Amino acid sequence: MWASTGNTVLKKQMTAVVSALAACQDNIGTGYLSAFPSELFDRFEAIKPVWAPYYTVHKIMAGLVDQYVLAGNNQALKMVTRMADYFCRRVQNVITRYSIERHWLSLNEETGGMNDVLYRLYTIIGDMKHLWLAHLFDKPCFLGLLAMKADDISGYHANTHIAIVVGAQRRYEVTGDPLYKEIGTFFMDIVNSSHTYSTGGTSVHEFWTEPNRLANTLKTASVESCTTYNMLKVSRNLFRWTKEMAYADYYERALTNGVLSIQRRNDPGVMLYMLPVAPGLSKAIGFHRWGFKV
C-alpha cells in the first residue's frame, strides 16, 4: 500500500512495527522472532501435534523482506537474515541428528511459503545457505507428483501445497531450472481444469476432492479465501512468463469472485474467510459468516 500511495502515515506506522519487532528479536537474542515460544518448533521437529509454526513465521519473514524491497528498510533485512540463519541451524540440526527423511516427514504440516521467501532472500543477499534451505522446503512428495505429470492432488490440503508451488515457481526464476516451470504450468492446468469452481475458487473446506466431480460438493462447499489468494500468484507468474491470455482470464475471474467478494461492500474491513458456493446461499449465514471490523 505504501509503495502504491507514498502515504507518510503508513510509512511511519510500518517502520514503528519493524522497530518494535527488532526490540523483541534483540531481547530473545538468538535470531528467533515470533509471538509463540520456540518450543513449538521442538514439537514440530519431533513430529508431535502442533499447529503450523512455520506458516506464521513465514508471514513475518515475508513482511520483513517486503519492508526492505518496497520501503528500503535496512533494519528489516538484518532481522529477516537473522531469522533465516536461525532456521538454517535448526533444520541442519534435524538432518544431522536424525536424517533428511525426518525433515521431509516434518513437512507434513502447513509451512506456508518458506521456500518462496528464502529464495527471495537469496536473490538479495546471495548467501548459498539460504538457497539450500529454500530447497529443503520444496516438498518433494508433492512436487515430485507434479514433475511426473500425475493429477493426484485429491485429499491434499490445498493452501499448504499451493504456497509450495509458488515457491517452486520462484526457484525457476532464481535458478533457471526448467523442471520447476513445468511443475507450475502442470499444476495450474490440473487445478483450473479439474478442481476449480466457476468462481475461480478451489478446494472444499480447505482440501481438494475428486477431480471433475465438483457438482457433488456444491451444497456444502465453502472456498477458503487464502487458496484463491495464492492461486492468483501462480497464475500471475505464468502470465508474466508466457503472456497467454488464459492465465489472465483466470486471474480476472478469481480476483473478482474470490477476493473482491470477500469484502463487505458497505463495511470496509469486514471480511469473509470461507466463500460459500451453494446456489442461493447467503454469505451472512453458515459456519463462516462475515467477520468483525479490523
Q: Report the SS3 class of residue 80.
A: helix
Cβ 99 vs Cβ 60: under 8 Å: no
**What's the mean pLDDT in 34-49?**
96
Summarised one tens digit per residue, pLDDT across range 47-62 is: 999 999 999 999 999 9
CB-count burial class (<10 Å; 0-12, 13-18, 19+) for 1? exposed
Q: Looking at residues 177-195, what average pLDDT do you find?
A: 97
Compute CA 184 distance to the chain's CA centroid, rounded to the nearest angstrom: 14
Q: How far is CA 149 from CA 190, 209, 240, in A?
A: 9, 18, 22
pLDDT, mean over the chain: 94
**How many Å apart are CA 179 and CA 147, to the nearest integer?**
7
The verdict on residue 110 lying in a domain is yes
Report yes or no on 59 lying in a domain.
yes
- What predicted TM-score, i.e. pTM, was given to this entire model? 0.95
- For 257-281, give the DSSP string: HHTGGGB-TTSTT-B-SEEE-STT-
Q: Residue 200's CB: how many other CB atoms inside 10 A?
A: 23
pLDDT score at 265: 83
Beta-carbon contacts of residue 202 (< 8 Å; ≥ 6 apart) = 158, 191, 195, 196, 208, 223, 227, 228, 231
Residue 286 pLDDT > 90: no
Q: With respect to residue 246, please indicate whether it lies within any of the assigned structural domains.
A: no
Q: Which stretch of 6-10, 79-83, 286-290 has the lowest confidence by average pLDDT?
A: 286-290
Q: How confident is the model at residue 294 (pLDDT cuts 50, 70, 90)?
A: low
Using the predicted structure, report yes or no on whether residue 291 has a pLDDT greater than 90. Answer: no
Does residue 80 sit within a domain? yes
* 8 Å CB contact between 258 and 223: yes
Give me the number of domains the chain comprises. Answer: 1
Q: Is residue 12 in a domain?
A: yes
pLDDT at 151: 83
Domain containing 46 equals 1-133
Average pLDDT over residues 113-136: 98
Least confident of 106-115, 121-130, 209-218: 209-218
Split at pLDDT 50, 70, 90, the class of 282 is: confident
* Each residue's pLDDT tens digit, 89-121: 999 999 999 999 999 999 999 999 999 999 999
In angstroms, rounded to a whole number, what is the distance separating the alpha carbons of residues 115 and 173?
A: 13
pLDDT for residue 242: 97
278 or 58, which is more confident?
58
In this structure, are residues 23 and 17 in contact, taking their beta carbons and an 8 Å threshold?
no
Look at residue 63 and tell me if it is in a domain.
yes
Alpha-carbon distance of 174 to 242, in angstroms, equals: 17
pLDDT over 90 at 20, yes or no? yes
User: Is 216 part of a structural domain of the chain?
Assistant: no
pLDDT tens across 142-178, in order?
Answer: 999 999 998 889 999 999 999 999 999 999 999 999 9
